Amino acid sequence: MKLATFDWNGERHVGRVSDDGSTVTRLNLPAGAADRDGVAALIGSDLPAEAEQLSVSDIKLVAPVPRPHRNIFCVGKNYFEHAHEFASSGFDSSAAKGAVPEAPIVFSKLPESVIPHEAAVKVDAGVTTAVDYEAELAVIIGKGGRNISKEDALSHVWGYTIVNDVTARDLQGIHSQWLIGKSQDTFCPMGPVAVTADEIDLEDTTVRCWVNGELRQDSNTKLLIFDVPTIIAAISNGITLMPGDVIATGTPAGVGIGFKPPKYLTPGDTVRVEIAGIGILENPVEAY
């Protein structure tokens, strides 16, 4: 099932998206329930009764989880080819241990960096001149837990969405860590919708990204170094995952830093991320 968070008639709502993507059927949630949680307000309860059917052209999509309650968990260097391209870039503080990590590399993005489909990624040239894109499948946790086993991990997944893990590469290098470069305002496009876990085949889901119509990333989740169960087990090792937590699972090769010279984003660019079974997340790039 595809589900959207959207603004309509002066309020925030959650709805079920039609198969062809042309309409959204609003769900009767309590007033205010969708304001921050979005689709995560559905976790742990039966699907609410349906209300009116709306044309997508009459609503404004917002990110599926507009403001996650906690930082977004992210996994770095989780496709083999990307691990090698990033290790050779000069911006990888973990490269001394080898190009391919032996365990998931986990960092986070601040929740305030989240923006929806079609909103602008804003580049502040006074802060960074090396802004990159990273197309990623993101997991939405449905059942919390600590020390979750790999065997049980997928039972904790409620659904999936798309995240573009926008990154200031120069800030990564300056600070020798990733939080600041990953958490700039507007640096976490998410959406356009979320899908329930049954909609995604983790063994065969394509992940693609275009910049200004040029295909830059073209891969598949079957090529992840650490699969989703491994990621969930690693993050929950001593840390209690909570319903509504978002985990971005890593990006494939083809990011801007991998080109010589690098192909960084500049105002006027458009980034289009497509993940099979979810849809298309597209965002323009603008200057502050």
In the numeric block, which tokens belong to residue 81? 């080819």
pLDDT band for position 242 (50/70/90)? very high
> Residues 65-113: pLDDT tens digits?
999 999 999 999 898 776 667 665 666 566 556 678 899 999 999 999 9
230/151 Cα distance (integer angstroms) = 9
69/65 Cα distance (integer angstroms) = 9
pTM above threshold 0.75: yes
1/159 Cα distance (integer angstroms) = 9
Average pLDDT of the chain to the nearest whole number = 94
Check residue 97 and give its pLDDT.
Answer: 62
Check residue 257 and give its pLDDT.
Answer: 94
Homologous superfamily of 72-287: Fumarylacetoacetase-like, C-terminal domain (3.90.850.10)
> Residues 153-211: pLDDT tens digits?
999 999 999 999 999 999 988 887 889 999 999 999 999 999 999 999 999 999 999 99
248/135 Cα distance (integer angstroms) = 9
- The phi, psi pair for 49, rounded to 5°, reads -60, 150
Q: In the 8-state DSSP scheme, what is residue 264?
A: -
Asked whether this chain's domains 2-62 and 72-287 adopt the same fold, the reply is no
pLDDT band for position 31 (50/70/90)? confident
Closest CA to 241 of 157, 124, 126, 121: 157
Average pLDDT of span 213-227 = 97
Check residue 89 and give its pLDDT.
Answer: 61
Domain boundaries, the chain: 2-62, 72-287
* 259: Cβ contacts below 8 Å, ≥ 6 apart: none
Check residue 98 and give its pLDDT.
Answer: 62
* 156: Cβ contacts below 8 Å, ≥ 6 apart: 141, 142, 143, 144, 145, 148, 232, 241
> Residues 131-149: pLDDT tens digits?
999 999 999 999 999 999 9
In the numeric block, which tokens belong to residue 182? 């990953």
Count CB neighbours of 150 within 10 A.
14
Average pLDDT of span 31-51 = 94
Is residue 108 left, alpha or beta, with left meaning phi > 0 and alpha meaning psi from -120 to 50? beta
Find out whether 200 and 162 touch, Cβ atoms under 8 Å: no
Question: What is the DSSP pairing of strand 206-211 with strand 279-287?
Answer: unpaired
Report the top-level CATH class of 2-62: alpha beta
